[in-house]
């Protein structure tokens, strides 16, 4: 048995052999629990918002978009099907009649494999039987453990009916799940927000005057008290401008940032989405566009006391996001979002970030919507991040500076949890 002192000495040993370096890194990455900083997963307490099992997995909007690449079926015919029929159809089309080469299809394979289910099955009978026979709570624990995720941040828009009903019923979510207060309706769809605010009893007018600002503030205070979010967030279109002569800028300046300041909350800016590029695809119909980095730079410069998390959807924005983070230390880049969450691009972005800002970023979030997606999204992310870090440490070694296992553990913990928890002042599930 190794004594504590000997163990410490071992961990402090310089890793001058690349094989050993890789081994220690793989171990650290496998064992370090991640905080999943942005998902759409909900715990069981949220009833119909809790998605799990093969039918929810196969009807993920990433796969719905892909199935139309390999069928002549019309959108209308597809939407007339029940959820189970859609899942059968997607399985048959993308997994039986075609090889699941894309990232989203491979994700399903990874999940089935994690549960020892047949990845080449002709139909979904075995998978359905497996998922329906699981005890939901034990299954949730098993998924989080397999994914090695300690904490999950949800997306919670208080204008969303089902969210509203659940929170108003006074639920206490599973302690590993944390809210993020999503501001999309408020900042991107002001007319709908006005109706929603009125129906929740807030006295707002369409014109943004002082009284309306105060009422929105009261609305945010109420929801912050109820949800105890770890940050506030908004997804922004590719043509987002700041400052601009519009409601969004006014709301950000007069209401959102003062609220963030008062409650010590970061604001996550998720830039570059183009909603409804093909409405026939419904939730699968969103696209992307290159956003204007100067909007992000200006907001960071205008509010040096505020803290911003930022992710951008276009590959073309990634390098400038790193450069912006070098200029503004109130800016934390996070994740490889949505259409970027593919090994080739995650690898490129992670390398770029390591080269430009060292270990001072949050490399990935899952964006999972269905519980078991946590398994594939994190397994795939860990493989790519391992490669990027390995190459980085190996280059450092070649330059004459070996690292120790302790340093590897420190870096991986920072990347997978520490950077985020420090940024948002988050104490995690253990202390709630």
Would you count residue 235 as binding ligand RAT (CB under 6 A)?
yes
Q: Which does 235 bind (CB under 5 to 8 A by kind): ligand RAT, Zn ion, none?
A: ligand RAT
Question: Of 38 and 139, which CB lies nearer to Zn ion in the complex structure?
Answer: 38
Query: Cβ neighbours of residue 181 under 8 Å, at least 6 residues apart?
Result: 156, 158, 220, 223, 224, 227, 229, 231, 232, 233, 265
Question: Of 50 and 338, which CB lies nearer to ligand RAT in the complex structure?
Answer: 338
Q: Hey, what are 134's tokens?
A: 């699981």
| Closest approach of ligand RAT to the CB of residue 368, in Å | 8
Element (H, E) at 131: helix 125-132
Q: Hey, what are 48's tokens?
A: 């119909």
Q: Hey, what are 294's tokens?
A: 């100067």
| Closest approach of ligand RAT to the CB of residue 432, in Å | 24
Closest CA relative to residue 235, chosen from 192, 184, 278: 184
Question: Of 65 and 197, which CB lies nearer to Zn ion in the complex structure?
Answer: 65
Question: Of 247 and 367, which CB lies nearer to ligand RAT in the complex structure?
Answer: 367
DSSP E strand stretches across 129-202? 149-153, 177-178, 181-182
Give the integer Cα–Cα distance in Å for 347 and 391: 11
Give the integer Cα–Cα distance in Å for 88 and 124: 7
Query: Cβ neighbours of residue 76 under 8 Å, at least 6 residues apart?
Result: none
First-to-last alpha carbon distance for the chain, in angstroms, is 36
Q: Which of 55, 157, 367, 372 binds ligand RAT (CB under 6 A)?
A: 367
Q: Hey, what are 10's tokens?
A: 């071992």
Q: What is the DSSP string of 34-61?
A: EEE-S-----GGGGGG---SHHHHHT-H
Q: Hey, what are 384's tokens?
A: 């790519």
Question: Of 32 and 341, which CB lies nearer to Zn ion in the complex structure?
Answer: 341
Rounded to 5°, angle at Cα 164 from 270 and 253: 40
C-beta atoms surrounding 424 within 10 Å: 23
Q: Which does 163 bind (CB under 5 to 8 A by kind): ligand RAT, Zn ion, none?
A: none
Q: Which of 22, 27, 33, 40 binds ligand RAT (CB under 6 A)?
A: 40
The residue count for binding Zn ion (CB under 5 A) is 1
Question: Of 15 and 67, which CB lies nearer to ligand RAT in the complex structure?
Answer: 67
Q: Which does 39 bind (CB under 5 to 8 A by kind): Zn ion, ligand RAT, none?
A: none
Contact stretch for Zn ion (CB under 5 A) within 260-268, 356-364, 367-375, 419-427 = 367-375
Give the integer Cα–Cα distance in Å for 323 and 52: 39
| Closest approach of ligand RAT to the CB of residue 299, in Å | 19
Question: Of 163 and 367, which CB lies nearer to ligand RAT in the complex structure?
Answer: 367
Q: Which does 176 bind (CB under 5 to 8 A by kind): ligand RAT, Zn ion, none?
A: none
Site for ligand RAT in 249-308 (CB under 6 A): none
The residue count for binding ligand RAT (CB under 6 A) is 6
Site for ligand RAT in 151-180 (CB under 6 A): 155
Q: 39 phi and psi, to 5 degrees?
A: -140, 175
- The DSSP secondary-structure symbol of 279 reads G
Contact stretch for Zn ion (CB under 5 A) within 3-11, 291-299, 361-369, 386-394 = 361-369
Give the integer Cα–Cα distance in Å for 213 and 225: 18
Interface mask toward ligand RAT for 328-347; x: CB under 6 A: ----------x---------
Question: Of 104 and 251, which CB lies nearer to ligand RAT in the complex structure?
Answer: 104
Q: Which residues lie near Zn ion (CB under 5 A)? A: 367
Q: Which residues lie near ligand RAT (CB under 6 A)? A: 40, 155, 235, 338, 367, 369
């Amino acid at each position: 048995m190794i004594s504590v002192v000997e163990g410490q000495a071992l961990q402090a040993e310089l890793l001058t052999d690349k094989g050993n370096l890789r081994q220690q890194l793989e171990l650290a990455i496998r064992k370090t629990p991640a905080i999943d900083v942005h998902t759409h997963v909900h715990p069981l307490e949220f009833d119909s918002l809790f998605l799990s099992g093969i039918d929810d997995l196969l009807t993920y909007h990433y796969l719905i978009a892909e199935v139309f690449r390999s069928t002549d079926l019309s959108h209308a015919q597809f939407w007339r099907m029940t959820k189970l029929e859609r899942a059968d159809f997607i399985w048959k089309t993308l997994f039986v009649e075609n090889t699941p080469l894309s990232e989203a299809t491979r994700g399903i394979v990874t999940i089935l494999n994690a549960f020892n289910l047949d990845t080449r099955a002709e139909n979904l009978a075995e998978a359905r039987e497996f998922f329906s026979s699981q005890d939901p709570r034990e299954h949730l624990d098993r998924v989080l453990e397999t994914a090695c995720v300690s904490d999950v941040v949800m997306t919670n828009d208080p204008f969303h009916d089902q969210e509203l009903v659940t929170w108003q019923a006074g639920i206490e979510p599973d302690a590993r799940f944390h809210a993020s207060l999503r501001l999309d309706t408020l900042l991107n769809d002001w007319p709908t927000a006005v109706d929603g605010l009125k129906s929740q009893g807030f006295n707002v007018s369409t014109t943004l005057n002082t009284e309306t600002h105060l009422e929105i503030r009261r609305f945010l205070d109420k929801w912050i008290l109820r949800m105890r979010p770890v940050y506030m967030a908004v997804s922004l279109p590719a043509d987002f401008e700041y400052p601009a002569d519009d409601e969004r800028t006014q709301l950000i300046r007069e209401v959102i940032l003062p609220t963030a300041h008062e409650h010590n909350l970061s604001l996550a800016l998720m830039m570059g989405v183009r909603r409804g590029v093909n409405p026939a695809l419904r939730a699968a119909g969103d696209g992307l566009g290159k956003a204007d980095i100067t909007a992000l730079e200006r907001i960071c410069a205008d509010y040096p006391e505020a803290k911003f998390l930022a992710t951008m959807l276009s590959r073309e924005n990634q390098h400038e996001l790193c450069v912006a983070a070098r200029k503004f230390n109130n800016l934390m880049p996070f994740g490889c979002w949505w259409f970027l969450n593919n090994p080739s691009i995650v690898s490129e972005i992670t390398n770029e970030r390591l080269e430009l800002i060292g270990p001072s970023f949050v490399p990935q979030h899952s964006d999972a919507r269905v519980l078991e997606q946590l398994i594939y999204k994190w397994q795939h992310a860990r493989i790519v991040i391992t490669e990027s870090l390995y190459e980085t440490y190996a280059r450092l070694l070649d330059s004459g500076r070996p690292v120790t296992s302790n340093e590897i553990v420190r870096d991986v913990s920072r990347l997978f949890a520490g950077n985020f928890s420090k940024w948002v002042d988050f104490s995690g599930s253990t202390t709630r």
